Chains A and B, each alone.
Chain A
Amino acid sequence: QKEVEQDPGPLSVPEGAIVSLNCTYSNSAFQYFMWYRQYSRKGPELLMYTYSSGNKEDGRFTAQVDKSSKYISLFIRDSQPSDSATYLCAFPRGPARQLTFGSGTQLTVLP
């Protein structure tokens, strides 16, 4: 079993839709939860990170963590064509905070 499972997509939504991106994890040692966005031909960009169960908002983005179910989500409200990218969940561990990534969900927001 993989440590991290991420809905593979691809996901295609109309502009303005609410998008839900999801990951499950099996390693109880994961205590921090991160979301990265990667545009084509670019490196991943950190969107949000949190360490507690519950919701954390940042503008149109909300990260949700349920530690009891080992399930994390990223919601994007009022999605824009500029949100079209691959979204990766990531879990840092160890003293180097080395990241274990999900496989990524490719999102396309249609104008």
Chain B
Amino acid sequence: KAGVTQTPRYLIKTRGQQVTLSCSPISGHRSVSWYQQTPGQGLQFLFEYFSETQRNKGNFPGRFSGRQFSNSRSEMNVSTLELGDSALYLCASSLRQGAYEQYFGPGTRLTVT
């Protein structure tokens, strides 16, 4: 079974631009969560989508948003990029909301210059 895939793997953007990252969960998985990983703050929860609805949100500004499609694929958008948004963005999928086993993708490395 294919794992979680994320595209693109690497991205360089300029401050003020916006970016969209994509995540395809494991086939059959319906819940997708997004995390940000930085050297200073570590891994932090951004939000979780299940059945095309955002169910939970972490403590991030409104510039961070996302959506989930009917096939469970998810996208994450960051508007008005800041230098501090440079991070590894990880997507994790699980079979259903509330499942403890979450499977992470390889991440998208975003660099904001």
Contact = CB atoms under 8 A, between A and B. Distances in A.
Interface of A: 32, 34, 36, 41-46, 49, 88, 90, 92, 94-104
Contact of A43 (B45, B48, B100, B104): B104
A98 B58 contact: yes
B6 to A, nearest CB: 8
B63 interface: no
Contact of B101 (A42, A43, A46, A98): A46
Contacts of B90: 43-44
Contact of A95 (B4, B98, B101, B106): B98
A101 B33 contact: no
Contacts of A95: 55-56, 97-98
Nearest to A42: B106
A32 B105 contact: no
A41 B106 contact: yes
B105 A43 contact: yes
B33 A103 contact: no
B94 interface: yes
B24 interface: no
A31 to B, nearest CB: 11
Contacts of A98: 33, 45, 48, 56, 58
Contacts of B42: 101-104
25 contacts: A32-B100, A42-B107, A43-B104, A43-B105, A43-B106, A44-B104, A46-B101, A46-B102, A90-B43, A92-B100, A94-B56, A95-B56, A96-B55, A96-B98, A97-B99, A97-B100, A98-B33, A98-B56, A99-B33, A99-B45, A100-B45, A101-B43, A102-B42, A103-B42, A104-B42
A92 B98 CA distance: 10
B97 to A, nearest CB: 6
B103 interface: yes
B72 interface: no
Contacts of B98: 95-97
Nearest to B43: A101
A38 B94 CA distance: 18
